[in-house]
Amino acid sequence: MELAGRATNNLVDMATNLNRSIALLVPFQGNPAWVFPTPDTDMDQIRLNLIESRDTALAVAATETIGSFGYQQAVQNLQETIIEINDHLALAKGYYVRSQGAAVLALLYVAFSVFGVLSGVGVRTVNRRLGNRALAVFRLVWTFGSIAAMTLLLVLP
């Protein structure tokens, strides 16, 4: 998700866009980073920053005229804040894609690969023809699994 608040130079319109972004972030709670969590990826902190930015924009809009230096400075500050918050959201989004479940599946994939190779080699020492078939089947499954995994990693944001 990317914030759309920078599309205008009107603080009230920017605040309205921020309201939509805040509503979209409501389902996301806490910090998705399960290893070395930082405030940069804390969804509650990101949402609070959005609320503070919206409130500041509305306060300036209520006291300054659109053409004033203070108003334009507030627009510029809010645009820079939105860029920074977008960076934090992009970082947090990566943790939702690369979740704990994905890490477990990756470990299982590696374990399966090791088991498959060892099984094929073990069978090959007993019966060479059967071992070659087992390794061929394993190579086929492993190749298609690798292609599928890489495709998913490329397709997912």
Q: 44 in the Ramachandran plot: left (φ > 0), alpha (ψ -120 to 50) or beta?
A: alpha
- pLDDT per position as a tens digit, 103-150: 677 777 778 777 777 776 776 677 777 777 777 888 888 888 777 777
Count of domains observed in the chain: 2
Q: Minimal CA–CA distance to 45: which of 63, 62, 25?
A: 25
Quote the CA–CA distance of 7 and 79 in Å, as a whole number: 9
- pLDDT per position as a tens digit, 37-66: 888 888 899 999 999 999 998 899 889 888
Full-model pTM: 0.60
Query: What range does the domain containing 126 cover?
Result: 101-155
- Which residue stretches of 26-99 are H helix? 43-63, 69-97
Quote the pLDDT of residue 67: 84
Rounded-to-10 torsion of CA 57, 58, 60, 66: 90
Domain boundary among 97, 124, 147: 97
Residue 6 has pLDDT above 60, yes or no: no
Same domain, 73 and 125: no
